[in-house]
Amino acid sequence: MALKALDIYKLLPKKNCKECGDPTCLTFAMKLAGGKADVDLCPYLDDQAKAMLGASTRPPIRLVRIGFGERLIKVGEENVLYRHEKTFYHPPGIVFKVDDTMSPEEIAAVTRRVRDDTLTRVGTELRFNGIAIENTSGSPEAFANAVAAVEKEQAHLPPILIAKNPAAQSAALVHCGTYRPLLHAATAENFRDMCSLAKQHGCPLVIRSATLDGLVQLVRNCIAEGVQDLVLDPRPATLGEYISRSTAIRQLAITRAVPELGYPVYLDAAGTCCQDAALALGITRYASVIVTRPLMPGPAKAALTLRQNIYTDPQKPIQMTPGLYRVGTPDKNAPVLMTVNFSLTFFTLQGYLESSRIPCYMLIVDTEGLSVLTAVAAGKLNEMLVRDALKKFSVEEEVSHRKMIIPGYASPLSGRIEEATGWKVLVGPRDAAEIGDYLHEEWQKEKAQ
Ligand code: SF4
């Protein structure tokens, strides 16, 4: 069971010496309880207290790393069942699957796609994460050749090697260098050989069983063989089975009722009746590694967008850096539009401004990532903030006029902004979609005056 802050506090030395970086032992205890500090930061803990605290404050789901370098996939370390309770930390790695019966050219084309494709959304680059190679031929040599075709592209993508036969795994591992591929999968029949390979190459290992008892037993067996970095494949035959098994695994893991289930979950969406639905379920319901056939552009965009939404911290709005942003090449007569630094507001408005084809300036003020309506209601958007932003970003040096367009929802502030800044305030539309018409009609009239 996880300890509460007061239970943790009782185990601390209570010196209030600040050496851990916190002002008191109690604040350190609260951080430990929230999983935001490490017990090693307190130098005065004895070994017994350290062992007790370490076990109870460590995330209930183990962190597992797949691959190496820039495209490394980190999964696990989750603490909650529902995202709104705190946040989900490590987004699932979505991995495109190829077979060793495909030609080297086909395999190379899929590899290049995962290497190069990106989708930029709300200022973040979204990508797929790796390549899974399946030994459908049954031949170790064909499997090794397929892995070599992936590696030849020098994509540095984390590989997943899917083969029941340890001899095929061994042949393929020769081509993976130090890339720590994820090996799929250890079963009750082959776990000793698979553990031996995982240990020899320092790889994480998927264990596969259709029952939770089977997974627990395999975890114990693999740990006894010396392999700690494990991923659980609950082997669902239907989407319903996936939901019930992955939910049970997450519940039993985060309550620490069955610590052996405290590992990331693997889902082969390509092996289900409906890949796109399985992919969406996996993203929302606890899968940490999802294998899929290469996706068409529409489903690819949907999957990346869904994953970004689910794995955004609900307590931290995505923010833009405050500043003066140019849309097109604005001159001294270009309009200045003030708005908040909530990313969704910024990118939505920016898109409509680009479509309007009227070059302009966007003055982005720091409302701690709140939207216009919320920032106005909370007092986070006010005349002082706008005045300071005008000065800080030297807006008066960029334009010859003194007119500013503010969002429609900020209209209650218009008079106070005029008083504080000396600028004329024009109230724009509430809906960003109407900004193009507004600039073509209202701004042009204002400019002519
Ligand atoms: S270092 Fe240890 S004793 Fe000192 S304040 Fe932090 S928790 Fe307390």
How confident is the model over 73-83, as pLDDT tens digits?
Answer: 999 999 899 98
> Which atom of ligand 1 approaches the CA of 21 most closely?
6
Q: What CA–CA distance (Å, rounded) separates 179 from 174?
A: 11
177 vs 378, which has greater pLDDT?
378
Which CATH number applies to 5-57: 3.20.20.140, 1.10.15.40, 3.30.830.10, 3.40.50.720? 1.10.15.40
Ligand 1: distance of its center to the CA of 316 in Å? 29
- For residue 269, what are the CA distances in angstroms to 46, 282, 351, 361? 47, 8, 34, 45
Residue 2 is predicted with a pLDDT of 63
Beta bridge partners of 231: 206
Q: What CA–CA distance (Å, rounded) separates 424 from 433?
A: 23
Please say if the pLDDT value at position 37 is more than 70: yes
Residue 186 is predicted with a pLDDT of 97
Residue 1 is predicted with a pLDDT of 54
Ligand 1: distance of its center to the CA of 43 in Å? 7
Under a CB-based contact definition with an 8 Å cutoff, are residues 158 and 93 in contact? Answer: yes
Please say if the pLDDT value at position 5 is more than 70: yes
**Which class is 64-310 in CATH?**
alpha beta
Residue minimizing CA distance to atom 6 of ligand 1: 20
pLDDT band at 59 (very low <50, low <70, confident <90, very high): confident
Would you state the structure tokens that stand for residue 447, as one six-digit string?
A: 């400019």
Ligand 1: distance of its center to the CA of 45 in Å? 9
Q: Where in the chain is the domain with CATH 1.10.15.40?
A: 5-57
- Show the DSSP H helices in 124-254 as ranges: 140-152, 166-173, 191-201, 212-224, 239-254
Q: What CA–CA distance (Å, rounded) separates 192 from 225?
A: 7
Residue 313 is predicted with a pLDDT of 86
Give the chain's count of helices (H) and strands (E). Answer: 18, 17
Residue 86 is predicted with a pLDDT of 84
Mean of pLDDT values over 47-76: 88
Per-residue model confidence as pLDDT tens digits over 197-254 = 999 999 999 999 999 999 999 999 999 999 999 999 999 999 999 999 999 999 999 9
Mean of pLDDT values over 29-58: 83
Q: Where in the chain is the domain with CATH 3.40.50.11600?
A: 323-448
Per-residue model confidence as pLDDT tens digits over 323-370 = 999 999 999 999 999 999 999 899 999 999 999 999 999 999 999 999
pTM for the whole structure: 0.79
Q: Where in the chain is the domain with CATH 3.20.20.20?
A: 64-310
Ligand 1 within 6 A of CB of 28: yes
Residue 174 is predicted with a pLDDT of 93
Mean of pLDDT values over 11-36: 89
Please say if the pLDDT value at position 48 is more than 90: no
120 vs 419, which has greater pLDDT?
419
Residue minimizing CA distance to atom 2 of ligand 1: 42
User: At residue 400, what are phi and psi to the nearest 5 degrees?
Assistant: -95, -15
Which amino acid type is present at position 59?
P
Ligand 1 within 6 A of CB of 27: no
Mean of pLDDT values over 47-72: 87
Ligand 1 within 6 A of CB of 22: yes
Ligand 1: distance of its center to the CA of 12 in Å? 7
Tally Cβ neighbours within 10 Å of residue 200: 10
Mean of pLDDT values over 249-274: 94
- For residue 299, what are the CA distances in angstroms to 161, 332, 448? 24, 44, 48
Residue minimizing CA distance to atom 8 of ligand 1: 25
pLDDT band at 184 (very low <50, low <70, confident <90, very high): very high
What is the pLDDT of the chain when averaged over all its residues?
A: 94
On the 0-12 / 13-18 / 19+ scale of CB atoms within 10 A, 41 is middle
What dotted CATH number matches 323-448?
A: 3.40.50.11600
H-helix or E-strand spanning residue 284: helix 275-284
Please say if the pLDDT value at position 173 is more than 70: yes
> Which atom of ligand 1 approaches the CA of 41 most closely?
1
Pairing of strands 287-292, 265-268: parallel
pLDDT band at 318 (very low <50, low <70, confident <90, very high): confident
Would you state the structure tokens that stand for residue 169, as one six-digit string?
A: 């795994």
Share of the chain above pLDDT 90, in %: 83
